[in-house]
Amino acid sequence: MKKGNSILTDSFGREHNYLRISLTERCNLRCTYCMPADGIALSPKSHIMTYEEIYTIAQKFVANGVTKIRLTGGEPLVRKDVSLIMEQLASLPVELAITTNGVIVDRYIEQFKTYGIQKINVSLDSLDALKNESITRRDYFTKVYNNILLLVQEGFEVKVNCVLIKGFNDNEVIDFIELTKNNKLQIRFIEFMPFDGNKWNMEKLVSLEEILQQVHNEYDVKHFTRLNDQPNDTAKNYKIAGYEGSFAVISSVTNPFCDSCNRIRLTANGQLKNCLFSTSESDILTLLREGKSIEPIIQKAIISKKKIRSGMNTLDKFKDPNSHNNRSMIAIGG
């Protein structure tokens, strides 16, 4: 594929070579920041992409320049045919990765190895079992914690996603960083983002600046270094000298990283979102089912991508509750 000449290049010259596919809207957890208390209205099963459709759509993206696919959800591993999906996607010339809540990850270790899935992101928001239960509304802390250690032992590249919420788990920043002392993993603190029904407000947000302040208070400046970011990295990466692992901050709200954005998202019901914050979607699945070409609609979605966070270019815009009229994160695929 000639650089800059693809249907996946937007009007700001950003090339989108990273596709995140949500496999399901279902989840075995009920995280408060991800979904409303009374759940979401699930799409009818017939509206969810079949494994064949996922493969066909992925093939087209790969033919147009996608080099990395991440499976997400909902919880991707609760989808019954997830093994088949992984097997099929593994036959494409792409790097395959997955984001999971880790609850049943131990059952998939061998399959991940077989299908070349090396990069695994696992969500864990507290190291306190009771707090974890209160945020996930389920009691799986020990299982998830042990599964994270198992993945590290098995040699996977593990990132632990931790959404920080003021007054709830922001006092655990240092405890999480200490986990990187003897474990080769990365902790990623994610700024809390607004989505439909998650009761977001600015006061609950723990910013990049506040996180770094805690780190400065705890560690000697000499022992705390900023790592070089990878191209298209969403995270700002750091390391405590001598620690095996590292930590990072994904500051989507206070310090967005849209300039180098290379991501596009496909929801479980076959809608393309050109940005996490975008409220408009492109219905790829209907066109595919009608036997029509999907490339023109993909190109249109990419071309219409805005420069910053789908137009949410100032912090003030977050304060407008209308800006939260997006799908719940569980239905987008984080």
Question: Near ligand SAM by CB under 6 A, which window of 12-20, 27-35, 217-225, 265-273?
Answer: 27-35
Residue among 101 and 234 whose Cβ is closer to ligand SAM: 101
Return d(Cα 67, Cα 10) in angstroms, integer.
17
Binding-site member from 64, 99, 183, 323 for ligand SAM (CB under 6 A): 99
**What would the two tokens of residue 20 be?**
């995140």
Query: Considering the rule CB under 6 A, would residue 161 count as an interface residue with ligand SAM?
Result: yes
- DSSP structural state of residue 2: -
Question: Near ligand SAM by CB under 6 A, which window of 171-179, 185-193, 224-232, 257-265?
Answer: 185-193
Element spanning 284, H or E: helix 284-289
What single letter denotes the amino acid at residue 252? S
Place of tokens 């036959």: 91
Query: Considering the rule CB under 6 A, would residue 103 count as an interface residue with ligand SAM?
Result: no
Residue among 33 and 277 whose Cβ is closer to ligand SAM: 33
Closest residue by beta carbon to ligand SAM: 334
Side-chain half-sphere CA neighbours of 142 within 13 A: 1
**Site size toward ligand SAM, by CB under 6 A:** 20
Residue among 65 and 334 whose Cβ is closer to ligand SAM: 334
The answer to whether the Cα torsion of 263, 16, 98, 161 is positive or negative is negative
CB-CB contact of 236 with 208 (8 Å): yes
Integer angstrom CA distances of residue 248 from 127, 284, 298: 17, 34, 32
Tell the smallest beta-carbon distance from residue 74 to ligand SAM (Å).
Answer: 6
Query: Considering the rule CB under 6 A, would residue 40 count as an interface residue with ligand SAM?
Result: no
Q: Interior CA angle at 256 toward 244 and 277, to 5°?
A: 115
Place of tokens 């131990």: 106
Query: Considering the rule CB under 6 A, would residue 329 count as an interface residue with ligand SAM?
Result: yes
Residue among 61 and 195 whose Cβ is closer to ligand SAM: 195
Query: Considering the rule CB under 6 A, would residue 160 count as an interface residue with ligand SAM?
Result: no
What is the binding site for ligand SAM (CB under 6 A)?
27, 33-34, 72-73, 75, 99-101, 123, 161, 163, 190, 192-193, 195, 198, 329-330, 334
